Structure 1
Amino acid sequence: MKTSHRTLATALAVLATAALTSCGSGAEPAADGTVTLSFMTGSDQSTVDTSKALANAFMKANPTIKIEVEHQPGGSEGDNVIKTRLATGEMTDVFWYNSGSLLQALNPAQTLVDLTGDPVLANVQEDYLPVVTQGGKVFGVPATTLTGGGILYNRKVYDKLGLQVPKTWAEFMANNDKIKAAGITPMIGTFKDTWTSQIFVLADYYNVQSAAPTFAQDYTAGKVKYASTPAALGGFQHLADVHAKDYLNKGYGSATLDQGLKLLVEGKGAHYAMLSGLLPPLLATYPQTATDVGFFGVPGTDVAKNGATVWEPAAIYIAKTTEHLDAAKKFLAFVASPAGTEAVTAAVPPSGPYRVKGSKLPEDALQVAKDLQIYIDNKATAPALEFLSPIKGPSLEQITVAVGSGLTPPAEAAAQYDQDVEKQAKQLGLAGW
C-alpha cells in the first residue's frame, strides 16, 4: 500500500488542492439555495463504494445539499495529502481518515471541528467514542463496520464434535485436544506471511485491559512493560502453548494467509487466530464462508469477563476551515444513523457490525458479523491497543514467529518487544521514555 514516490505524492497534493479551489467549497449557497460539500475519501474499492453509497443516499434525502467526492491515494501518500491540506487550510469540508492513535498526528484541536456533546453523535455507540477522542474532545463518527480480532473457527467441525464456544483459555485448549484426537488440525499457522503470527498477541488486548484497565495510557507513558505485566504476557504465552501441544498444521512456517483461510473454510483446520474482515473476498470462491465460519474472542481466564478485541472503523471528520458547518454536521449525522448504515449495507456486504445505535445487520450477514454483534450488545469489547496508543514496535511479527515456532520463550519474547517499542517511543518523542 505504501510507496516511496514522494514526487507523485507532492503532485497529487497540488492537483487535489487545485481541484478543491476550482470547485469553490467555501462559496456561498448557489442561487437556487443549494450548498456543495466537498468530501475527501480513500481510493480502495470498499472505501470508494461505501463513500459513494453514503453521499448518494444523503443527497437523495437532502436535495439542497450536493456532495462532491474526491479520492486521495492510499498509504503514506494519502496521509501526506491530508496533513498538507489541513496545515494549509485547504482541506475539503469533510474527510475520511483513520480512527485511533493516528488521529493525533492531525493536531485535531487546531484542525478539526469539535463534536463533543453535539447531536451529531446521538447514535454513535459509546464504546466507539474513545478512538475518535483527543484531549477529551470528540472529533468524528464511524464511517463503516468494525472488524473482530480473535479466533475464526469452523462451525461444522464444532457441530460434528459437539463442541461449545470456549469462554476460557482452558476450555479452548480442551477443545483443541478433542479436535486433534479426531484427526483434524486444531490451529492454523501461516508464518510465511509473518504479520499473521501477531494476532494472538494483538487480539488478546481485551483480556489485558480487563486485568489492567489503565494499561494503554501507562504503556504509552513508559510506566508499564509487557514483560512485567502478567496479563500482557498472555498473548505470547498463547503462542507457546499452541506450539507445545503440536496443534499447528504441518508446514505452518511456510504456509500463507490464503492457504490458511482455505484450510479453515474447508474444515481441514478448526481454528485460525485472524481478523474477521478478511473473509468477504472468499465468498466468491467459497460461498459457505458466510455460514460455516464463526468468530469468538481470544479466551482469557475469567468466564465473567469474556469479551473480544476489535479493530474499530475509520471515521469521517469535519475540517475546521469549512464554511458549510451546518450542512457538514447534517452529513455526519446521516453517516452515523441507521439510514446511513442501511445505505452502506445495500452497496457493501458488512463483514462486521456497525458502531451506530439502531443499525441492524441483514439476515444474510456473515456469521462472523452476527457473532461480533453479540459482543457489542454485551458491551464486551475493547479496541486493539494500536487504537489507544501510538506505540507498536516494528519487530513484533518476527518475535511472534519465533515464539510460535518454539524458538523463543514467552517471557524472553516480551522483553525483546519491550526493547523494540522503546526505540519507537523515543523516536516519537514520548514523555517517560
Structure 2
Amino acid sequence: MHLRAAVLATALTGLGTGWASAQTVNLTLSHFNNPNEVATANKLIEVFEAANPDINIDVELIPTGGDGDNLVKTRLSTGDMTDLLWYNAGSLFHALNPKERFVDLTDELYQAAILDSFKSVVTEEGRVYGVPIGTAFGGGVLYNRKVFEKLGLAVPKTWAEFMANNEKLKAAGIPAVIQTFGTPWTAQLFMLGDYYNLQAAEPAFAERYTANQAKYSTAPALKGFERQEEVFKGGYLNEDFASAIFEDGLRMVAEGQGAQYPMLSITVGTIATTYPDLVNDVGFFALPGDDASKNGLTTWMPNGLYITSTTPHLAEAKRFVAFVASTAGCDAQTAAIGATGPYLVKGCSIPADVPPVVSELLPYFETDGATAPALEFLSPVKGPNLPQITVEVGSGIRSAADGAALYDEDVKKQAQQLALPGW
C-alpha cells in the first residue's frame, strides 16, 4: 500500500492509526491486456486501495483473443486462476463452468442496484456470479466526421447507402472501410454487428439457432458474411488490412486516414486516452440493414467481474466487487476513460459532455425497439474459430458461403460440448 493512499484513506474513513498494524491482504485481478481495461483497472484499484488500506490489489494481464480465452480456461480448470477475473459475460461466461469456478453472488445486497438485463447474462441455473464492469456498448461503425463533412456524406441508414458512401470515398482516394486482420477478433464485426438486422428479419432466430434449427449458411443469417465479402470485393479496404492491428485502426479513423472502422463503440475510451485532441472527430452508427425504418443497433452487455472459487481471501474480494458495483465504482471508471455508454448499475450517471461516439450511441438505447442484444447474450452457442473464419472471408481467401458453412461446423462442436439438446 502506498503511503499517500493510506494517509488519504485514513482521512476519508476516520479509521485513525489502528489499521497500521493490521496485515495487508494481497489480491490479484486478471483482465485482458487492452488500453481500456488497463486504464480502468488501474483507476478502480487506485480509488479502492485509498479507501481500503488493508487490501492491496495486483494485476495479471491476459492476452486478447483466442489465446487469452484458452489461458483463462486452463487456469480455471487447474485451480490456478487469480482471486478476481474480469471476463466476458454471455456465452463465453457459460463456457467456463461458473457453478464450479466462481463464487455465487446472488444474495449480495448490491445486486438490488444491478439491472436485470445484466444479471441475466451472468446467471447459471438461477444463480448470479458476476457484476458489471464497464458500460453497455454497441457493435457498429466508427467514422471520421470531418471526412464525412468534407465529402458531404450522410450517416447511412441502409446497406445501399453505406455502399454508395464507400464508392464516393474510394473515388476520393480515401480508404472507405478500415480492417485490421492483424488483430483477428476485429474481423468479426460485420457478422456480429449485423445481428440486429438478422433478428428483425427472423425474430425467433436465437431460439431456433440454439435448438439447431437455424444455420448461418442460409438466409437471412448469411448476410453478415456476404456483406463482409461485398466490401472486400468492392476494393474499399485499407491496403494493409491483412497486417494492420487494432491500434492502427483506431489511429486511422481518428486521424481520417480511413473513413470508417467496423468496431465496438466502447473503444472510444482508447481514442480518448490516446488521441484526446481527435476524439470529437469520431462518430458512430449502427451497421445498416436493408430497411431504413428498421434501423437499429446490436448491443453488448458489459463484461463481468467474478470471484474465483479458489480465492483464499473471499471477504476482501467481495469488498472490491461491491465497490465496482457501486456509484463510486462507476465514477472511477468514468474518470479513467470517460463515459463510453450507459452503466447498468442504478444511480450511476454519465457526464453531459460526452464524445460524439457516445452521444450518437445513446439514442439507440433510448428508443424503443432500436436495440437487440448480440447473439452471444441470447444463445450459449458461439464457435471459437469465428475470428479466423471472418479474416478469411474479409480477405477474399474464402467465400461468404464457405465461411458460413465452416462456422456452422465450428458451432456444432461447441454446442455438443455444452450438451445442448438437438445437437
**TM-score grouping bracket, smaller chain normalisation:** 0.7 to 0.9
Contact 1:37/1:328 (8 A) holds in 2? no
**1:240-259 equivalences in 2 (<5 Å):** 240-250=229-239, 252-253=241-242, 255-259=244-248
* Corresponding residue number in structure 2 for 1:9: none
Counterpart of 1:293 in structure 2: which amino acid? V
* Corresponding residue number in structure 2 for 1:231: 220
1:188 aligns with 2:178: yes
Question: How far does the alpha carbon of each residue in 1:141-188 deviate from its partner, in whole angstroms, 9 at most, with x for none?
Answer: 102234532211111122223333222223322333443444433222
Counterpart of 2:135 in structure 1: which amino acid? T
* Corresponding residue number in structure 1 for 2:10: none
Change (3 A) 1:431 1:67: farther
Contact 2:300/2:373 (8 A) holds in 1? yes
* Corresponding residue number in structure 2 for 1:69: 57
Question: How far does the alpha carbon of each residue in 1:15-62 deviate from its partner, in whole angstroms, 9 at most, with x for none?
Answer: xxxxxxxxxxxxxxxx98x9998754125475465445445545766x
Contact 2:29/2:82 (8 A) holds in 1? no
Secondary structure of 2:305 counterpart: strand
Counterpart of 1:173 in structure 2: which amino acid? M
Change (3 A) 1:343 1:152: same
User: CA-atom RMSD, angstroms?
Assistant: 4.0
Secondary structure of 1:186 counterpart: coil
Contact 2:269/2:337 (8 A) holds in 1? no
Distance 2:113 2:337 in 1: 21
Secondary structure of 2:410 counterpart: helix
Distance 1:357 1:196 in 2: 31
Q: Mean Cα displacement is larger for which, 296-305 or 112-121?
A: 112-121
* Corresponding residue number in structure 2 for 1:4: none
Counterpart of 1:142 in structure 2: which amino acid? P
Counterpart of 1:158 in structure 2: which amino acid? F
Distance 1:70 1:341 in 2: 20
1:294 aligns with 2:311: no
Counterpart of 1:403 in structure 2: which amino acid? V
1:216 aligns with 2:206: yes
Query: Structure 2-normalised TM-score?
Result: 0.75
Question: How far does the alpha carbon of each residue in 1:112-141 deviate from its partner, in whole angstroms, 9 at most, with x for none?
Answer: 555558652333234323321222433321
Distance 1:53 1:268 in 2: 32
Distance 1:325 1:192 in 2: 39
Q: Which of 178, 198, 204 does residue 194 from structure 2 map onto?
A: 204
Secondary structure of 2:177 counterpart: strand
Question: How far does the alpha carbon of each residue in 1:220-246 deviate from its partner, in whole angstroms, 9 at most, with x for none?
Answer: 332221123x23112112113323433
Contact 1:290/1:366 (8 A) holds in 2? yes
Gaps of 5+ in 2: 1-17, 63-67
Identity among equivalent pairs (%): 49
Distance 1:95 1:400 in 2: 28
Alpha-carbon deviation of 1:109?
4.0
Change (3 A) 1:49 1:411: closer
Change (3 A) 1:412 1:113: closer
1:375 aligns with 2:364: yes
Counterpart of 1:69 in structure 2: which amino acid? I
Change (3 A) 1:109 1:392: closer
Distance 1:50 1:71 in 2: 12
Secondary structure of 1:152 counterpart: strand
Distance 1:410 1:95 in 2: 36
1:263 aligns with 2:267: no
Question: How far does the alpha carbon of each residue in 1:196-221 deviate from its partner, in whole angstroms, 9 at most, with x for none?
Answer: 33221122123223333443343233
Alpha-carbon deviation of 1:91?
8.2
Gaps of 5+ in 1: 1-30
**1:250-399 equivalences in 2 (<5 Å):** 250=239, 252-253=241-242, 255-278=244-267, 280-282=269-271, 286-317=275-306, 332-362=321-351, 365-378=354-367, 380-399=370-389
Alpha-carbon deviation of 1:300?
1.9
* Corresponding residue number in structure 2 for 1:404: 394
Contact 1:190/1:197 (8 A) holds in 2? yes
Distance 2:45 2:111 in 1: 19
* Corresponding residue number in structure 1 for 2:94: 104
Distance 1:119 1:412 in 2: 49
* Corresponding residue number in structure 1 for 2:166: 176
Alpha-carbon deviation of 1:100?
1.8
Distance 1:263 1:59 in 2: 37
Change (3 A) 1:366 1:402: same
Distance 1:35 1:96 in 2: 26
Contact 1:154/1:265 (8 A) holds in 2? yes
Counterpart of 1:225 in structure 2: which amino acid? K
Distance 1:114 1:340 in 2: 20
Aligned length: 396
Distance 2:203 2:135 in 1: 25
Contact 2:182/2:245 (8 A) holds in 1? yes
Distance 1:124 1:70 in 2: 26
Change (3 A) 1:70 1:432: farther
Query: Structure 1-normalised TM-score?
Result: 0.74
Contact 2:36/2:269 (8 A) holds in 1? no
Contact 1:72/1:81 (8 A) holds in 2? no
Change (3 A) 1:414 1:299: same
